[in-house]
Amino acid sequence: MTAHATSDDARRRPPGMTDVARLAGVSQKTVSRVVNNERYVSEALREKVLAAAAELGFRPNTAARALITGRFKRIGVVSLGSALYGPASMLVALERATRAAGLSFMVANTPEGQPEAIQDSIDWLLAQGVDGVILSEPIDEGQHVRPDAGVPIVSLGQAGDLPAERVALTRGRTAASCREAVEHLLDLGHERVWHVAGPLDWWEARERLEGWAEAHRARGIEPPPHLEGDWTPAGGHAAGLDLPPEATAVFCANDDTAIGVARALHEAGRRVPEDVSLVGFDDIPAAAYLSPPLTTVQQDFEGDATHALDVLMRLLPGAAPEPEAKAAAPRRRLVVRSSTAPPRSTSSPLSPP
């Protein structure tokens, strides 16, 4: 009975490097070099080993490899676990970037409204075995991140106690994009631009608010009071109901907020863009198909994720020396569509006074 069970266990045993070496007709050391992507293996031999591994269904033992090399070849990401378009798109982009770099990917979701759990998520990732951690959507109320975690930690935005060199997307980049969006509306002839912000415990929401205010003050205009949403169409709708009648232009913290504001304007009998021009942020897939198509700031999630991973990889032990000029993060682009127009009083030089 025992012998039979042992035989069954052997048949169920996952294939190892010894099995791959036997099938490929090479040494176990050669298989190890191929698995660890080391040099000094010819392309023909590498393909032979990979073919044998595929035939057997061999998967490298990450834990065993980490004991030998000190590296897991795995990146951890702390996410808010949000279904919002921006955070979800960034998470997908980070996974693609890590896979393209030959790394595996592990996520720890931190519930929204519990920023104190960010360090707990980092600790959990470290216990699973990761070479570095990326904070994908930092917020700052009660957030404390210990920078001495034993592995590099990089944030996609300002984050608690992390030094500047650990912040991949530097402060001011978002503000500059928002300033451009608001300047577009001011250039059309709108005297002031109202703003529906995101929740202001997010660094990103505060940067968008900052860029909106800067665009006004650069022209000697005092910005109107801002309204606060929650990134959702429902939050945008609630804020849109509070817009004053004199508002002729609105810059929203994201496209979902803009969708809610548009609904509130429609309910008030105000048309976009004839009565109110509307600008969003993100360029969600639906933005170009709204009626009218939405003017918005286009984010490059893939580029931002790749840039953040590059910053993290340069901090890993044994990384290549950092180049003199560090590559800048991708720039966000204003996409002008039909939701913006001059205010009616200045829409044409032939308009009556």
Q: Who contacts 203 (Cβ-Cβ below 8 Å, separation ≥6)? A: 138, 139, 140, 157, 158, 159
Of residues 205 and 142, the one with the higher pLDDT is 205
If you average pLDDT over every residue of the chain, what do you get? 82
- DSSP state for residue 166 in the 8-state scheme: G
Is the pLDDT score of 55 beyond 60? yes
Is the pLDDT score of 6 beyond 60? no
pLDDT at 129: 86
| Burial (0-12, 13-18, 19+ Cβ within 10 Å), 126 | middle
Is the pLDDT score of 63 beyond 90? no
pLDDT at 171: 58
**What are 175-193's pLDDT values in tens digits?**
899 999 999 999 999 999 9
Is the pLDDT score of 312 beyond 50? yes
Instruction: For the chain, list the strands marked E by DSSP.
Output: 74-79, 104-109, 132-135, 153-155, 194-197, 227-228, 249-252, 277-282, 295-298, 333-335
Average pLDDT estimate for 277-296? 97
Of residues 235 and 137, the one with the higher pLDDT is 235
Is the pLDDT score of 351 beyond 70? no
Is the pLDDT score of 3 beyond 50? no
Token pair belonging to 20: 């791959």
pLDDT at 34: 80
Average pLDDT estimate for 75-88? 85
Token pair belonging to 272: 């976009």
Is the pLDDT score of 115 beyond 70? no
| Amino acid type, 200 | L
Sheet holding 295-298, edge to edge: 227-228, 194-197, 249-252, 277-282, 295-298, 333-335
Is the pLDDT score of 325 beyond 90? no
pLDDT at 247: 97
Is the pLDDT score of 11 beyond 70? no
Give dist(CA 48, CA 23) in Å, integer: 9
Is the pLDDT score of 298 beyond 90? yes
Is the pLDDT score of 288 beyond 70? yes
pLDDT at 287: 97
pLDDT at 121: 85
Q: For tokens 């720890």, name the residue.
A: 108
pLDDT at 120: 83
Is the pLDDT score of 326 beyond 60? no
Confidence of residue 5 (pLDDT cuts 50, 70, 90): very low
Of residues 29 and 159, the one with the higher pLDDT is 29
**What are 119-164's pLDDT values in tens digits?**
788 888 888 889 889 988 666 654 556 666 678 888 887 665 665 5
Q: How many CA atoms lie within 13 A of 146 on its CB side?
A: 11
Per DSSP, the three-state class of 77 is: strand
Whether residue 273 contacts residue 248, with contact meaning beta carbons closer than 8 Å, is answered with no
% of residues, the chain, pLDDT over 70: 75
Confidence of residue 336 (pLDDT cuts 50, 70, 90): very high
Is the pLDDT score of 84 beyond 80? yes
Is the pLDDT score of 202 beyond 50? yes
pLDDT at 350: 36
First-to-final CA distance of the chain: 100
Top mean-pLDDT range of 39-43, 64-68, 146-150, 305-309: 305-309
pLDDT at 8: 47
